[in-house]
Amino acid sequence: MKSYQAIRTAPAPDSAVVRGPGEVAVRLRVNGETRTMSVEPRVSLLDALRDRLELTGTKKGCNQGACGACTVWVDRRRVLACLTLAISCENREVATIEGLAEGDTLHPMQQAFLDADAFQCGYCTPGQLMSAVALLAEGHAGDDAEIREWMSGNICRCAAYPHIRAAIRRVRDEQGGSGAAD
Amino acid sequence: MRPISYSRVADVGTAIGTVSADPESAFLAGGTTQVDLMRIYVEQPRRLVDINDLPLTRVEELPDGGLRLGGLARMSDVAEEPAVVRRYPMVAEALLMGASPQLRNMATVAGNLMQRVRCSYFRDVAAGCNKRAPGTGCSALDGINRGHAVLGTSECCIATHPSDVAVALVALDAVVQTEGPAGRRSIPIDDFFLLPGQTPEREHPLTHGELVTGIDLPPLPVAATSRYVKIRDRESYEFALAAVAVAMSVAGGRITEIRLALGGVATKPWRARAAERVLDGAPADTDSFTRAAEAELASAVPHGMNAFKIELTRRTMVRALAEMAQREGTA
Ligand SMILES: Cc1cc2nc3c(=O)[nH]c(=O)nc-3n(C[C@H](O)[C@H](O)[C@H](O)COP(=O)(O)OP(=O)(O)OC[C@H]3O[C@@H](n4cnc5c(N)ncnc54)[C@H](O)[C@@H]3O)c2cc1C
Ligand code: SF4
Ligand code: FES
Ligand code: FES
């Protein structure tokens, strides 16, 4: 193992601002709105959304990164809200299932899920939808095998998978067939 | 989860200074290991230092023709980086076969190397576990150990190293770049992962507060013909039961260059040097591949439920090598 070299940037002393461990004011941008709440730094984005902001569309399945029920977007990328701390999302754009529809008009993916009967109990559905819309933007919906692989982060215990894929195919084809970002 | 305080830092010096000054603090990158383990009390820092604003997210060309993956580059971004896909396909493949799209959007490549084992006793604070609580015994030795390692184990710990991309990085002799209170250093990746031996709680040589700033991929033409083969209980979103990273050149039916590493079966990402010695210069045929796999697995030790992994690894090695040779032969 090589030894240490002379350092270029001396480490600064512990000069970082410390927040918590008690409640601190955290300001989040959620679905385009600024929301302020008082939470401890240990609170997950998932709990903050559900318990503080009453945005209960995002679901808690496993709470350990293994199911995808809590999928939301942070800075337009799909992520897991259960393994994200709310406080770490300051200055980032959070989007949840509640922001997907335009007023009373469902997002095409929501409509396609309804038409294709793409859920049974519905518990995984908000996460499936947030993933499915992101999937099309990422351009990973070329064929069924690709959809299956790139939707594998969302478990459905009711096994609605074939219908979920049908809904995604329909929206992909309506959008021009490629599944690439447009 | 215990209460924690939180700091977000914008530069490397402050990140290192802050964590090294506070023994009860930890870096927070994607959080996919850190938050998970804090929630189940396996890790209990009192303070998290969020390093996501550090300018270490890019993939950059190195003067020697290699590539530097920024420590905070996301798994998803590195996997789609054209230079990685073209010059080091097995790195991109290993990344894409890991975790899920959501997790890969969060997880960093440095965090990936630093992830902890998935042994269920390690994750259960009520169970004896030498790695989590030194001296409390290893519950996996006589327990549920189907996913555990057959190579590199000790009587203290048999947990498998869970990373996929680290397997490809070990095959490539990548170099881990760090910066800490004592300065900067370059650690060959094979030295970065420690065998459990008598001290399974020590998994890497970093000091507290030492930051992984980047991972360097050396210029290696053979890496352009490489792949990652991962066998698991289900097709996706699952850790490896056995995995093979292979880079190979074939000329005139003989193997002229070979780099081989194993995942899912060893306590560290496992460079298969015994197999490489058999393969170097050998005919690119099934007989060589079988002999190579057997040479590597001669030292494998089964532990009850995981005995099947030895045969599974042998077959996965032979298959990966044969497919690679076929592709090389027809290229
Ligand atoms: C359900 C699930 C499935 C998974 N499946 C796979 C899989 O199939 N294959 C696979 O390879 N991985 C898999 N993973 C693991 C995942 O890839 C890792 O958790 C992830 O890469 C960790 O990176 P992070 O940025 O989230 O790290 P964090 O969780 O933020 O940090 C992990 C650790 O590293 C330290 N750390 C972070 N960054 C640095 C740095 N720059 N320098 C020094 N220390 C640092 C932290 O303090 C912490 O101790 C899975 C994880 C989950 C939850
Ligand atoms: S295998 Fe290692 S991690 Fe698992 S219980 Fe034994 S000591 Fe702990
Ligand atoms: S609740 Fe987040 S992945 Fe299951
Ligand atoms: S619809 Fe019930 S879990 Fe998916």
Would you list the DSSP string of A2-30? PPPBPPSSPPPPS-SPPB-SS-EEEEEEE
Q: Is the CB of B163 under 6 A from ligand 1?
A: yes
Which residue in this structure is represented by tokens 């040779």?
B325
* Residue B152 pLDDT exceeds 50: yes
Run of H or E including B6: strand B5-8
Contacts of B9 in chain A (CB under 8 A): 16
| Interface-testing mutation among A3, A5, A14, with chain B (most B C-beta atoms within 10 A) | A14
Q: In this predicted structure, what is the pLDDT of residue A14? A: 62
Binned at pLDDT 50, 70 and 90, residue A9 comes out as low
Least confident residue range of A14-18, A125-129, B84-88, B185-189: A14-18
CA neighbours within 13 Å on the CB side: how many for A119?
Answer: 17
* Residue B261 pLDDT exceeds 80: yes
Contact B35 A85 (CB under 8 A): yes
User: What is the distance in A from the centroid of ligand 3 to the CA of B100?
Assistant: 12
Binned at pLDDT 50, 70 and 90, residue A16 comes out as confident
Q: Please say whether the structural domain A24-99 has been given the CATH code 3.10.20.30.
A: yes
Q: In this predicted structure, what is the pLDDT of residue B327? A: 85
Judging by DSSP bridges, how do beta strands B59-61 and B67-70 pair with one another?
antiparallel
User: What is the distance in A from the centroid of ligand 4 to the CA of B36?
Assistant: 24
* Residue A11 pLDDT exceeds 90: no
Q: Is the CB of A94 under 6 A from ligand 4?
A: no
Q: In this predicted structure, what is the pLDDT of residue B331? A: 46
Measured CA to CA, the distance from residue B282 to residue B287 in angstroms comes to 10
ipTM attached to this prediction: 0.96
Distance from CA of B10 to the nearest CA of A (A): 9
Contacts of A78 in chain B (CB under 8 A): 101-102, 105
Percent of chain A with pLDDT over 90: 87
* Residue A80 pLDDT exceeds 80: yes
- How many CB atoms neighbour CB A137 within 10 A? 17
Average pLDDT, chain A: 92
In B230-259, the residues whose Cβ lies within 8 Å of chain A are 235-237
Binned at pLDDT 50, 70 and 90, residue B283 comes out as very high
User: What is the distance in A from the centroid of ligand 1 to the CA of B55?
Assistant: 19
Kindly report whether the peptide bond that precedes residue A21 is cis, defined as omega within 30 degrees of 0: yes
Which residue ranges does chain A devote to CATH 1.10.150.120? 108-174
Whether the CB of B44 is below 8 Å from some CB of chain A: the reply is no
* Residue B225 pLDDT exceeds 70: yes
Strand partners, A24: A39
* Residue A2 pLDDT exceeds 50: no
Six-digit token pair at A103?
Answer: 């007023």
Contact A65 B32 (CB under 8 A): yes
Measured CA to CA, the distance from residue B186 to residue B167 in angstroms comes to 18
* Residue A181 pLDDT exceeds 80: no
Percent of chain B with pLDDT over 70: 99
Measured CA to CA, the distance from residue A12 to residue B252 in angstroms comes to 57
* Residue A182 pLDDT exceeds 50: no
Q: Is the CB of A159 under 6 A from ligand 4?
A: no
* Residue B329 pLDDT exceeds 80: no
Q: Is the CB of B264 under 6 A from ligand 1?
A: no
User: What is the distance in A from the centroid of ligand 2 to the CA of B191?
Assistant: 21
| Nearest-Cα residue of chain A relative to residue B123 | A64
Contacts of B35 in chain A (CB under 8 A): 44, 83-85
- CATH T-level topology, domain B5-50: 3.30.43
User: What is the distance in A from the centroid of ligand 4 to the CA of A156?
Assistant: 5
Contact A88 B52 (CB under 8 A): yes
Atom of ligand 3 nearest to the CA of A71: 2
Q: Is the CB of A116 under 6 A from ligand 4?
A: no
- How many CB atoms neighbour CB A27 within 10 A? 12
Contacts of B22 in chain A (CB under 8 A): 14
Residue A156 burial (C-beta neighbours within 10 Å; 0-12, 13-18, 19+)? buried
Whether the CB of B47 is below 8 Å from some CB of chain A: the reply is yes
Distance from CA of A161 to the nearest CA of B (A): 14
* Residue B58 pLDDT exceeds 50: yes
Q: Of A87 and A176, which is predicted with more confidence? A: A87
Binned at pLDDT 50, 70 and 90, residue B68 comes out as very high
| Nearest-Cα residue of chain B relative to residue A13 | B17
Q: What is B221-330's CATH number?
A: 3.30.390.50
Q: What is the DSSP string of B84-128?
A: HHHH-HHHHHHHHTSS-HHHHHH-BHHHHHHPPP--TTTT-TTS-
Measured CA to CA, the distance from residue B308 to residue B304 in angstroms comes to 9
Which residue ranges does chain A devote to CATH 3.10.20.30? 24-99
Sequence-distant (≥ 6) Cβ neighbours of residue A145 within 8 angstroms: none
Q: Is the CB of B42 under 6 A from ligand 2?
A: no
* Residue B195 pLDDT exceeds 60: yes
Q: Is the CB of B172 under 6 A from ligand 2?
A: no
- Sign of the alpha-carbon torsion through B129, B135, B148, B239: positive
Q: Is the CB of B103 under 6 A from ligand 1?
A: yes
Tens of pLDDT, residue by residue over B79-91, are: 999 999 999 999 9
* Residue A34 pLDDT exceeds 50: yes
Q: In this predicted structure, what is the pLDDT of residue A176? A: 79
Distance from CA of B105 to the nearest CA of A (A): 6
HEC sequence for B128-182: CECCCCCCCCECCCCCCCCCCCCECCCCCCCCCCCCCHHHHHHHCCCEEEEEECC
Q: In this predicted structure, what is the pLDDT of residue A1? A: 43
> CA B244: distance to chain centroid?
12
The pLDDT of A3-7, averaged and rounded, is: 49
Sequence-distant (≥ 6) Cβ neighbours of residue B226 within 8 angstroms: B88, B89, B90, B168, B171, B245, B246, B247, B248, B259, B324
Domain ranges of chain B: 5-50, 221-330
Strand partners, B61: B67
Q: In this predicted structure, what is the pLDDT of residue A178? A: 53
Q: In this predicted structure, what is the pLDDT of residue B89? A: 98
| Nearest-Cα residue of chain A relative to residue B49 | A16
Q: What is A108-174's CATH number?
A: 1.10.150.120
Binned at pLDDT 50, 70 and 90, residue A177 comes out as low
Q: In this predicted structure, what is the pLDDT of residue B328? A: 78
* Residue A6 pLDDT exceeds 80: no
**What radius of gyration, in Å, describes the C-alpha atoms of chain A?**
19
pTM of the model: 0.96
